[in-house]
Amino acid sequence: MESEKLSGRVPVHIRRVVTEHGSQGVARFAEDGAVPRTDIFKTVPGLVSRMVWSTSASTTVPLNGTDPTPLVTSFVPEPGETRFLVLTFPPDAVFMAPDFDGPAAVAENLAVSPGLAERFEPDGKHQTPTVDYGIVLDGEIWMELDDANETRLGQFDTFVQNGTRHAWRNKSDRPATIAVVLVGARTPDTTD
């Protein structure tokens, strides 16, 4: 499948193992299969979004047997919530291709990544009220901040992003994949 090739060394469909408690509190495997909320973008060849898991502010253990990811209506977690994502970015050259349809890509992103896509500026920069813990699984990607401040992150480099305005740039000629956990945080304007 062509879309599988576009993802680099990280497969499009990655395995997710979920645990739970069975009768009398015995730990067991609840699920073992592909991440069900995997979106392969049609308008941006090579862009793949995978929501592995999410928690709400009221999440408790043991797991009640319900996969929370299909119920997520915003990729941006509220304070006390989390989102676990694995994202594959194609080379930036994809966005410069003569047949790239920017408006169609924006519309698809709004459908695939609600709550996050609305925060994107025309240059790809965005800001979320989250603390993000991440690691580069494959390839290299540049984190661009304000005032052309940027740094290259390579395979196994980690990052902690504290609600800063940023963009991801893939200046290489191959896909880059990151795993990131977004933790919803309070901001100065958060009300109780």
Query: Nearest Cα to 39, choosing from 29, 50, 30, 31?
Result: 50
Predicted confidence at residue 53, as pLDDT, reads 97
Burial class (CB in 10 A: 0-12, 13-18, 19+), 111: exposed
> Torsion-angle region of residue 157: left (phi > 0), alpha (psi -120 to 50) or beta?
beta
The alpha carbons of the chain give a radius of gyration, in whole angstroms, of: 17
Predicted confidence pLDDT, tens digits, the chain (192 residues): 444 445 568 999 999 999 999 888 899 999 999 999 999 999 999 999 999 999 999 998 888 888 999 999 999 999 999 999 999 999 999 999 999 999 999 999 999 999 999 999 999 999 999 999 999 999 999 999 999 999 999 999 999 999 999 999 999 999 999 999 999 999 888 665
Query: Which pTM does this prediction carry?
Result: 0.92
Predicted confidence at residue 3, as pLDDT, reads 45
Q: Parallel, antiparallel, or unpaired for β 167-169 and 141-144? A: antiparallel
How many Å separate Cα 114 from the centre of its chain? 12
Predicted confidence at residue 2, as pLDDT, reads 43
Predicted confidence at residue 131, as pLDDT, reads 98
The CA distance from 137 to 62, in Å, is 30
Neighbour count for residue 66 (Cβ, 10 Å) = 9
Residues 6+ apart with CB under 8 A from 62: 20, 21, 25
Instruction: Work out whether the CA dihedral 152, 156, 162, 166 comes out positive or negative.
Output: positive
